[in-house]
């Protein structure tokens, strides 16, 4: 596969972070240090790794990473109290609740408790509604990453048929809305779609967001289609059968090194934007 087919997420993320460093320095001159609070409930190893990666990414560009680690038996009430404290903490500009939380916690209620102006991960229903209507400040970070990659590579979705495979509230649904807002014709499919292959075969743009390794087969990809794989499964495997898909796609994201790095970069960007807004307010 030639490099000119590759949608290099690491390069996109590095460009974003380099621009953010300057904005962070400007904020600090004004006496404001951007701060992202990450809440981890329990001891899930993967979640711990993700939180650590996000914290390290923050620190590399000068964002303060405030880590809150709550025990596995935390109640919904205790978690909501923690979120409310962060809502009222003027030094905190963004709040991220690491998914998933232990089963005794009402995760949706916890997400909804995050103040809209600090919902830099785009998890509240209010934030989703604003994104769908076209005026959201902080769309969910993975959908935002997908749109940013397309923008950086001059992929214009207008008039194109985009097939999104996945319907989660923080990935499949919002990315469909973002594509629709840019005048794509969007078909949303999922793991229970009948004859999924026939839908994918007609797609100019394929967004894979179903959370199943190599669920989308390479032979389904239309010649010349753009493939954006937001899946990340055990063994560094995406939701798309990469080896087969890369032969037919005009452009494709690798896993890892595609959508993932840009997702983290968009989280950083949203936190910086929130900090900038705090000065204006």
Q: Is 54 part of the annotated catalytic residue set?
A: yes
Catalytic residue among 66, 98, 119, 204: 98
What sign does the CA torsion over 42, 47, 50, 54 have?
Answer: negative
C-alpha span between 217 and 239 (Å, rounded): 9
Task: Let me know if 98 is a catalytic residue.
Answer: yes
- Burial zone of 81 (CB within 10 Å; 0-12 exposed, 13-18 middle, 19+ buried): exposed
Catalytic residue among 8, 119, 121, 239: 121
Spatial contact of 68 and 37, defined as CB atoms under 8 Å apart: yes
Is 195 an active-site residue? no
Degrees to nearest 5, angle at CA 17 with 11 and 22: 135
Query: Which residue among 8, 17, 54, 182 is the active-site one?
Result: 54
In angstroms, the Cα distances linking 232 to 4, 88, 175, 209 are 23, 34, 17, 9
Q: Which residues are catalytic?
A: 54, 98, 121
């Amino acid at each position: 596969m030639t490099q000119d087919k590759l949608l290099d997420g690491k390069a996109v993320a590095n460009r974003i972070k380099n621009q953010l460093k300057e904005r962070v320095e400007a904020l600090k001159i004004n006496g404001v240090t951007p701060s992202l609070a990450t809440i981890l409930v329990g001891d899930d190893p993967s979640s711990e790794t993700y939180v650590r990666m996000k914290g390290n990414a923050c620190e590399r560009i000068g964002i303060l990473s405030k880590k809150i680690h709550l025990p596995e038996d935390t109640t919904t009430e205790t978690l909501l109290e923690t979120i409310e404290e962060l809502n009222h903490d003027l030094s905190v500009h963004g709040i991220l609740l690491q998914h998933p939380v232990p089963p005794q916690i009402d995760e949706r209620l916890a997400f909804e408790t995050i103040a809209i102006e600090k919902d830099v991960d785009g998890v509240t229903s209010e934030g989703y509604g604003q994104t769908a209507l076209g005026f959201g400040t902080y769309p969910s970070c993975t959908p935002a990453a997908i749109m940013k990659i397309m923008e950086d590579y001059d992929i214009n979705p207008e008039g194109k048929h985009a097939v999104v495979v996945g319907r989660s509230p923080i990935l499949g649904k919002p990315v469909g809305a973002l594509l629709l807002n840019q005048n794509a014709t969007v078909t949303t499919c999922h793991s229970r779609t009948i004859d999924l292959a026939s839908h994918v075969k007609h797609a100019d743009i394929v967004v894979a967001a179903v959370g199943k390794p190599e669920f989308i087969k390479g032979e389904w990809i239309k010649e010349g289609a753009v493939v954006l794989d937001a899946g990340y499964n055990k063994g560094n495997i995406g939701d798309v059968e990469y080896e087969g898909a890369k032969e037919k796609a005009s452009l494709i994201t690798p896993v890892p090194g595609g959508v993932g790095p840009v997702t983290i970069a968009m989280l950083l960007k949203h936190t910086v934007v929130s900090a900038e807004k705090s000065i204006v307010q």
